[in-house]
Chains A and B, each alone.
Chain A
Amino acid sequence: MRIERRWLSRIGSAVFAAALLYPFTAFFARIGPWQWGPEVRDPALASVRVSLLLTSLAMVIIVVVGTPVAAYIVRCSSRERLVWQALLLIPILLPPLALGILLTLAFGPYGSVGAWLEHYGIVMTNSATAFVTTQVYVGMGYYVLGAVAALDAVPYMLQKHAALLGLTPVKVFFRVTLPLSRLGLAVALSLAWVRAVGEFGAVVVTAYYPSGMPVQLWVNLQSFGLPAVMPLLVVFLAIALPFPWLIHVLAQRRRHA
Chain B
Amino acid sequence: MLKVQFNKKRRELNVSVSLELEQGEALGLFGASGAGKSTVLACIAGIEEPDEGLIELEKLRLFPPSLPLHKRPVGYLTQDPGLFPHLSVKENICFGIPRNQGQGKQQLDWIATLRERLRLGPLWNAPAALISAGQARRVGLARMLARKPPLLLLDEPFAGLDRQLVRELIDDLVFWNRTIGFSMIAVDHQAEVLRRLCPRQAVVLEQGQIIQRGTWEELCSSPGTPLLRSLLAPL
Residues of A within 8 A of B (CB): 155, 157-158, 160-169, 172, 175-176, 179-180
Q: Is the CB of B82 within 8 A of A157?
A: yes
* 20 more A-B residue pairs beyond the given contacts A165-B95, A166-B98, A167-B96, with a C-beta to C-beta distance below 8 A: A155-B82, A157-B47, A160-B82, A161-B82, A162-B84, A162-B95, A163-B68, A163-B69, A164-B46, A164-B70, A164-B76, A165-B96, A165-B147, A166-B96, A169-B68, A169-B70, A175-B95, A176-B84, A179-B86, A180-B84
- Known contacts: A160-B47, A161-B76, A162-B95. The answer to whether A168 contacts B82 by CB under 8 A is no
State the CA gap A74–B208 with chains docked (Å). 31
B148 → chain A, closest Cβ, in Å? 12
Is B4 at the interface (CB under 8 A from chain A)?
A: no
Is B168 at the interface (CB under 8 A from chain A)?
A: no
Is B45 at the interface (CB under 8 A from chain A)?
A: yes
Residues of B within 8 A of A (CB): 45-47, 68-70, 72, 74-76, 78, 80, 82, 84-86, 95-96, 98, 143, 147
List 5 tightest A-B contacts by C-beta distance, closest first: A165-B96, A163-B69, A161-B82, A166-B96, A179-B86
A16 → chain B, closest Cβ, in Å? 36
Q: Which residues of chain B are within 8 angstroms of A175 by Cβ–Cβ distance?
A: 95
Residue of B nearest to A176 (CB): B84
Q: Is the CB of B80 within 8 A of A157?
A: yes
Q: List 8 A-B contacts (CB under 8 A).
A: A157-B80, A158-B84, A160-B82, A162-B96, A165-B143, A165-B147, A166-B98, A180-B85
State the CA gap A155–B47 with chains docked (Å). 14
State the CA gap A179–B74 with chains docked (Å). 25
Q: Which residues of chain B are within 8 angstroms of A155 by Cβ–Cβ distance?
A: 82
Residue of A nearest to B96 (CB): A165
